Structure formats: structure tokens, C-alpha cells
Amino acid sequence: MARLDAEPFALEIDPGALGLVVIDMQRDFMEPGGFGASLGNDVSLLRAIIPAAARLIEGFRAAGLPVIHTRECHRPDLSDLPPAKRDRGAPTLRIGDPGPMGRVLIAGEPGADIIPELCPKAGEVVIDKPGKGAFHATNFGDVLKEKGLRQLVFAGVTTEVCVQTTMREANDRGYECILATDATESYFPAFKQAAIDMIRAQGAIVGWTASTDQIREAIG
Ligand code: C5J
């Protein structure tokens, strides 16, 4: 066991049951011309966390702990895309439309790929998910059980959408969740801060928060 100096209070980490979940670090959210940009967002904000996310991933790999990646994307025939999701808002490109990085948020298209800086290593699990949360319509829950995980560190984008949704789903399923505050980002800094505050409020009602350095120190 190791002590993680987290907020709102320190947490005992069991390295045998700890994994890292990196949410949706995809070109479609991080680069111009993708889904994030089509909604009018400034994608450059998200790129600032790439070095911290890379250090977090390296720390888990060096410690021999599992790294799981997710990608928000849909089947090419859109059979897993509810009209309510496709028709939402007024983006310049809708999910499935052809764009500069291929069809937007479609599995197998260049835009759905994880950015090269954080490319999964051979053997690491990559979960393709049609929802904001990683448990919905995927085998994510089975993967966590197979790996014997009980504590999950979360990184990725965006903090208040897919990261927070998945953390809440995991929290409800009994996992202890830790958000790596400098390895997650939002297009809206105020939303990121609000998500962090909500997660650790009321005695860690959804989970804990800690920096990449603090997490790396705890996992050795
Ligand atoms: C969004 C995500 N923001 N990965 N997806 O639509 O957070």
C-alpha cells in the first residue's frame, strides 16, 4: 500500500488494484477540423495537458500498471448513434459527416484516432464508446473486473463531459476514482474547475483529485 496525498484527504493506494483510464485523447477533440472545433470550441486549450498526460501514462507503464484508453466514436453505419445525439446543437459538421480528418467521430477514421503523442502501446486496452460514459454499450466494466482493478486514476478530455460521466459511473459501481487535475482539460476552464470541485466535495462524493506528480510519487 502507498499513500496518495490527494484532495479532499489522503488515500491508501493498492498498486495491485490500480489502473489508469485515459479518456478520449482523440484528434477529433484535440485538433482543428474535428468534432470539438465543429462545435465552436478553441481546441488549443486542450493541447496544454499533453505533456502531463504523457508523464502520467509513462509512470503507469514504468510501474507495470494497466493503462486503458477510450475513444468516443460510432460505427460507420451510425447504428449506435441516437438521433438525439446526432441532431443536438448547431455544429458546422455533424457526427458522420465528412471532414478534414475523415468522417467526424467515426471508428477507423483519422479523426477518431488517439493523438500520436499518447498513442496506446501494444497490449493496452482501447475501448470504443458511443456514449459520454465508458460503461454504456461497451465491455469496459468486464475489462476492469478481468484486470482486478478497484482504484482508477482518470485523465483525458473533456473534464466535465466524458471524464466526469465515466468517473460518476465508476463511482456508482464501487470503484475509488482519482482525477489527475493537470492531465484533464475542458474547452471551458470554469467547467473544469467546477467539475473538480464537485468531484471532491462532501468528503469525496465522486472521488479524489491529485496532480500527476503526486500520483507518480505514490506509484513509485
Ligand atoms: C465531448 C468528450 N465533450 N470526450 N466528448 O463531447 O468529453
Q: Which grid coordinates are listed for 138?
A: 461497451
> ∠161-64-199 over CA atoms, to 5°?
25
> Minimal CA–CA distance to 218: which of 146, 149, 148, 153?
153
Compute the mean pLDDT over every residue in the chain, rounded to the nearest whole number.
97
User: Among this protein's residues, is 80 annotated catalytic?
Assistant: no
Helix runs in the chain, H state only: 27-30, 35-38, 44-47, 50-62, 83-86, 140-146, 164-172, 189-204, 212-219
What confidence score (pLDDT) does residue 10 get? 98
- Which residue lies with its CA nearest to atom 5 of ligand 1? 162
> Minimal CA–CA distance to 219: which of 67, 4, 8?
4
Q: Tens digit of pLDDT for each residue in 85-108?
A: 999 888 899 999 999 999 999 999
Q: Which grid coordinates are listed for 57?
A: 501514462
User: Among this protein's residues, is 119 annotated catalytic?
Assistant: no
What confidence score (pLDDT) does residue 90 get? 82
- Which residue lies with its CA nearest to atom 2 of ligand 1? 162
| pTM of this structure | 0.98
- The residue annotated as part of the active site, out of 73, 129, 132, 192, is 129
pLDDT < 70 positions in the chain: none
> Ligand 1: which of 23, 72, 85, 104 to mutate, judged by most atoms within 8 Å of the beta carbon?
72
Q: Which grid coordinates are listed for 90?
A: 448547431
What confidence score (pLDDT) does residue 199 get? 98
**Ligand 1 center to residue 155 CA distance, Å?**
13
User: Among this protein's residues, is 87 annotated catalytic?
Assistant: no
Output the ligand 1 site: residues, CB below 6 A: 24, 29, 72, 132, 157-158, 161-162
The CATH number fitting domain 16-219, selected from 3.40.50.850, 3.40.1190.20, 3.30.2020.30, 3.40.50.300:
3.40.50.850
What confidence score (pLDDT) does residue 89 get? 82
What confidence score (pLDDT) does residue 91 get? 87
Please state whether beta strands 98-99 and 102-103 pair in parallel, antiparallel, or not at all (unpaired). antiparallel
What confidence score (pLDDT) does residue 20 get? 99
